[in-house]
A and B are shown apart, each in its own frame.
Chain A
């Protein structure tokens, strides 16, 4: 219940940003890609800082200070390094919350969710480790805190803290180790980020250029306006009155002293365990996955091309028919979106077979059923500007568009609709077709809206044939029922004005097909 309310609140915020930025540039829909962008900024600026960093006890703070004084270059690099790291935590945590609220952590998505959990640890480890390098009072405070925290584990024997208690406990070697960790941990982080996106095809790791530009400009302005500064050099025998903590990374240290090392370990372990088991808590029954029907498949590979989760692979043909390849569905990866069925050239309702068997189909919503439901609905459409609307079960429901002259159908995903169905509807009595999906490319199954758009624009196979006038098809990527009703009303008004001109191609065709059984 709380989650649903939070999701509604998030959607309201996202809709506001949609209006402001445009759906495709809405930063809320690009949180993962923005995290990647920030990582690259941190990596690039980190390389520059590394060149000038002195890995010695006395030189570390001095070299960072020297960089900082060079405000137009070294200081700028340092500030960008810091603020991009902070921004990465922000986008990463929001990305996690958003995926949780949308329920995108269960089922086939468990892998992306689970591989995201170690990313949290790695990002915080990299950031905290980075703060040590400055070796100022803050660095010493967090070095002591980290040692106290780790010393709670029997593994460390309670002696790590002894390295940080007096000025002579440390040597220059310590900073070589720190630099090694500060390069090594982010490299592992990058590897895990790569693993994190392995089970999705065409992952979005680059935000749109305009958004990336705006974001980088924001970091630049912030870095110039509020340059990152060091505190006084580390002094193990003195605690400063106040510390300016970077709360994005260092929130754990006040918690450490509010709770206890054991308490903080408990909290961290419980949080990690909770995130780890979440995909299996309240799991919904698995959806039937795509099924391949080789008798209707010519091995064209469009299902393989369009699958958002790389669940379809092409393998050598095994049924003896004169085609090279056949698709095979990996049930563990299939998200049951039906986009493959929409991509199959056999999914055309114009085929004269009574039972429309397609090359790859969804058992819970076969293409044949879609045609049958359409054929039943078309004769019932009455009045002016008759519209067939196809939507998706995960977005604003097209089936809720209950008004005379409109037939709405909800698919597993907007991308499940074969473009030939649009032509079929127009040829069999509909004045127009409205395709409904989620705004901003924020498709439940990632690529449904994008493929639909490209298929309708004849940029992707299977495409909508040119015999259907463009003005009779409208795409509505919306997240709000009111917006959809407004789109529908505007579309119907437009269709009314086109009524006479379009009759020539939209002449109703009487559907005559005999059912063959057996």
Chain B
């Protein structure tokens, strides 16, 4: 009888262990977003314009260079920082000045942000300026967006596709 009890209690231990594994492999549930909310993800990887214009080397400058390095046009490596601004229903949501990457500052600027926003109809405006030489040159996109709860709106800047993309 005692042996049977022991076996039964062992089975209870195994069942408890199985219950523990089964429970925590699924529960408690996790809510990645509060109810009635959506998400905006801003992502940018963009190289700003060079900080200075290319210029032609003078004959004297060219002569001073080794023969294999005599390239007539000299361009600055350093890129302009990229200024990004997001407006949500007319109010500023995010603004940043993104420095170029790389030791010489000649790489692309990048950024990634996520914003939890209320679901519904909203007006989203995105701006990007990428030239210190032409500070008034700003790439903009403004759209009315309908976000149902749980929707993830990707706000991406793709220069090769003509600028801002709301997806």
Contacts and interface: CB of A to CB of B under 8 A. Distances in A.
Interface of A: 17, 20-21, 82-83, 86-87, 90, 141, 148, 151, 157-159, 161-162, 165-166, 214-215, 217-219, 221-222, 225-226, 228, 236-248, 253-254, 257
Q: Is the interface of A mostly helix, strand, loop or mixed?
A: helix
B112 A158 contact: yes
A166 B154 contact: yes
Contacts of B33: 239, 241
B24 to A, nearest CB: 4
Contacts of A243: 29-32
Given A162-B112, A222-B22, 9 more contacts: A21-B13, A86-B24, A166-B154, A218-B15, A222-B21, A237-B152, A238-B150, A244-B30, A246-B26
Interface stretch (B35-43, B88-96, B121-129, B131-139): B35-43
25 contacts: A20-B10, A21-B13, A83-B22, A86-B24, A86-B25, A151-B112, A161-B43, A165-B41, A218-B15, A218-B18, A222-B18, A222-B22, A225-B22, A226-B22, A228-B25, A237-B154, A238-B152, A239-B32, A239-B39, A242-B29, A246-B24, A246-B25, A248-B25, A254-B30, A257-B32
A17 B110 CA distance: 57
B151 A82 contact: no
B20 interface: yes
Contact of A162 (B24, B45, B101): B45
Contacts of B115: none
B55 interface: no
A142 to B, nearest CB: 11
Contact of A238 (B27, B45, B101, B151): B151
B13 to A, nearest CB: 7
Given A157-B110, A161-B43, A239-B32, A82 B25 contact: yes
Contacts of A17: 13
B149 interface: yes
Given A166-B154, A218-B14, A159 B45 contact: yes
A90 B21 CA distance: 8
Nearest to B45: A159
A381 B132 CA distance: 98
Contact of A21 (B10, B43, B154): B10
B6 A20 contact: yes
A241 B31 contact: yes
The 5 A-B residue pairs with the shortest CB-CB distance, nearest first, are A222-B18, A242-B29, A218-B14, A247-B24, A244-B26
Nearest to A238: B150
B43 A162 contact: yes
A215 B17 CA distance: 9
Contact of B150 (A87, A158, A239, A254): A239
A241 B10 contact: no
A87 B20 CA distance: 10
B9 interface: yes
B112 A148 contact: yes
Contact of A236 (B110, B111, B152): B152
Nearest to B109: A158
B77 to A, nearest CB: 18
B101 A86 contact: no
Nearest to B35: A241
Contact of A244 (B29, B43, B112): B29
A248 B45 contact: no
Nearest to A22: B6
B30 A242 contact: yes
B87 interface: no
A239 B152 contact: yes
Interface in B17-71: 17-18, 20-22, 24-33, 35, 39, 41, 43, 45
B149 A241 contact: yes
Given A83-B22, A157-B101, A236-B152, A20 B13 contact: yes
Nearest to A210: B10
A127 B18 CA distance: 19
A87 B154 contact: no
A166 B161 CA distance: 15
Contact of A242 (B10, B31, B101, B110): B31
A157 B18 CA distance: 42
A228 B6 CA distance: 31
A214 B31 contact: no
A165 B156 contact: yes
A83 B31 contact: no
Nearest to A220: B18
Contacts of B18: 218-219, 221-222
B23 to A, nearest CB: 9
Nearest to A218: B14
A232 B28 CA distance: 18
Contacts of B101: 157
Contacts of A226: 22, 26
Contacts of B9: 20
A501 B43 CA distance: 91
B25 A247 contact: yes
Contacts of A239: 32-33, 39, 150-152
A106 B167 CA distance: 56
A81 B18 CA distance: 14
Nearest to A241: B150
Contacts of A158: 110-112
A217 B14 contact: yes
B10 A214 contact: yes
A246 B27 CA distance: 7
Nearest to A217: B14
Contacts of A148: 112
A236 B152 CA distance: 7
Contacts of A248: 21, 24-25
Contacts of B26: 226, 244-246
A83 B43 contact: no
Interface string B1-19: 0000010011001110110
